[in-house]
Amino acid sequence: MQTHNLIDLGDISKADLDEIIRLAAMIKANPSIFTDACHGKIMATLFYEPSTRTQMSFQTAMLRLGGQIIGFDNPSNASVAKGESLKDTIRVVSGYADVIVMRNPVEGSALAASMYSEVPLINAGDGGHLHPTQTLTDLVTLSAEKGSLENMTIGLCGDMKNGRTVHSLIKTLSKYKGNKFILISTPELQLPPYMLDVLRESGCPYSFSDSLEKSIAELDVLYMTRIQQERFRTAEEYEAQKGIYVLDKAKMALAKPDLIVLHPLPRVDEITVEVDDDPRAKYFAQAEYGMYARMALIITMLTGKADQDVPNGKVLDGRCCQNPRCVTRSEGYVPHLFYEKGGRSVCSFCDSLLEE
């Protein structure tokens, strides 16, 4: 693989991605062949934010490959609670482990951390920004359940604004031919501008919808998401958005017989439990595919020989990213780098547009 780290799935070539998806399917079919694939290797999981599936599936993945794990899932028990910078934590841990998996609420933190790591670093979610290993999970699920990653009408429903899984998924699936997107949400929770740029540039057709009921019959894939309560500024703003889109038996009755329903989980109230018994509901299978996806990723990262990645971008005299949730705002030593896109400057860490 060309890249040393996994920050954004876009860093991986399509050929490498196909290779990882194939490897995941092979592991699922023949797990016993891989029981020693990472013997003697250590993975550190640094979780600064709550997680069940992502953390446990990474840990199980490494254990099933014969490797070992260290790490924390409660930053209040780690040195960050004493004021340690991300850079220092990463420097220290990269001396202990062979691969680091990090989830952090700060946008762009994974890219920043990778600059100070001696070992491959995997982004397990950086705030509302990206979540590439969930997308890898989604791709492994789609290839197994649909047999292809092309020519699908994909409905994404719920929190398009704050849902990092949706951002990573659209970025990747828009590179496969023939895909069409229907973005189902309230106007307040629609995709952020940089994601709309991604869609525009990809040339994939996309449309907006405010009704799951009206759109469901068209879909080959329905990707439901949770309203991301923790990313709202006030309880009132969250209350105004929650419970608007609920997938239930009546809506499933309007859908194609070969629709598949995915959800990164955890579910709150956006899919009623009765839908779980519908054979088109694949979200629990998806969680299991995630373990195989991560096994394939760990093997690939630990056997890759690529050089350290360098963030793309340059310093602009005196300019700082304006996104208050960007890592350049909280970790003062991280350089303020920007890349050019359509004549505009964009933060290399969180992808926010720099306002003039």
User: Pick from 3, 54, 135, 172: which binds ligand NCD (CB under 6 A)?
Assistant: 54
CB of 134 to ligand NCD, least distance (A): 5
Site for ligand NCD in 159-188 (CB under 6 A): 164-165
Quick count: other Cβ atoms within 10 Å of Cβ 15? 9
Query: Least distance (Å) from ligand NCD to the CB of residue 74?
Result: 16
117 binds ligand NCD per the rule CB under 6 A? no
Counting contacts by CB under 6 A, is residue 155 touching ligand NCD?
Answer: no
The CA-based diameter of the chain, rounded to the nearest angstrom, is 58
Taking CB under 6 A as the criterion, the residue among 67, 71, 108, 125 binding ligand NCD is 125
Q: How many residues bind ligand NCD (CB under 6 A)?
A: 11
Minimum CB separation of residue 103 from ligand NCD in Å reads: 8
Q: Write down the least CB distance from residue 314 to ligand NCD, Å.
A: 31
**What sign has the CA pseudo-torsion 228, 231, 236, 240?**
negative
Residue from 226, 294, 329, 336 in contact with ligand NCD (CB under 6 A): 226
Residue placing its CB nearer to ligand NCD in the complex, 89 or 135: 135
**Residue number with CB closer to ligand NCD (105 or 120):** 105
Q: How far apart are CA 70 and CA 12, in angstroms?
A: 26
- Our CB check for ligand NCD shows the closer of 53 and 146 to be 53
Minimum distance from residue 194 beta carbon to ligand NCD (Å): 18
Does position 53 bind ligand NCD by CB under 6 A? yes
* Closest to ligand NCD by CB, 4 or 131: 131
For tokens 């009408």, the residue is 153
Q: Which of 45, 59, 123, 134 binds ligand NCD (CB under 6 A)?
A: 134
Shortest Å distance, C-beta 199 to ligand NCD: 20
Q: Which CB sits closer to ligand NCD, 129 or 336?
A: 129
Measured from the CB atom, the residue of 109 and 134 that comes closer to ligand NCD is: 134
| Near ligand NCD by CB under 6 A: residue from 41, 64, 129, 131 | 131
**Nearest-approach distance from CB 1 to ligand NCD, in angstroms:** 22
Task: Tell me if 114 contacts ligand NCD by CB under 6 A.
Answer: no
Measured from the CB atom, the residue of 94 and 264 that comes closer to ligand NCD is: 264
Q: How far apart are CA 354 and CA 356, in angstroms?
A: 6
Q: Does 264 bind ligand NCD (CB under 6 A)?
A: yes
> Which one, of 163, 100, 65, 138, lies nearest residue 293 by Cα?
138
CB of 128 to ligand NCD, least distance (A): 8
Q: Smallest gap, in angstroms, from Cβ of residue 24 to ligand NCD?
A: 16
Locate 276 and state its tokens. 């779980």
Q: How far is the CB of 257 from ligand NCD (least distance, A)?
A: 27
Check residue 265 for interaction with ligand NCD (CB under 6 A): yes
Mapping DSSP onto H, E and C, the string for the chain reads CCCCCECCHHHCCHHHHHHHHHHHHHHHHCHHHHCCCCCCCEEEEEECCCCCHHHHHHHHHHHHCCCEEEEECCHHHCHHHHCCCHHHHHHHHCCCCCEEEEEECCECHHHHHHCCCCCCEEEEEECCCCCHHHHHHHHHHHHHHHCCCCCCEEEEECCCCCCHHHHHHHHHHCCCCCCEEEEECCHHHCCCHHHHHHHHHHCCCEEEECCHHHHHHHCCEEEECCCCHHHCCCHHHHHHHCCCCCECHHHHCCCCCCCEEECCCCCCCCECHHHHHCCCECHHHHHHHHHHHHHHHHHHHHHCCCCCCCCCCEECCCCCCCCCCEHHHHCCCCCCEEEEECCEEEECCCCCECCC
Residue ranges that bind ligand NCD, judged by CB under 6 A: 53-54, 125, 131, 134, 164-165, 226, 228, 264-265
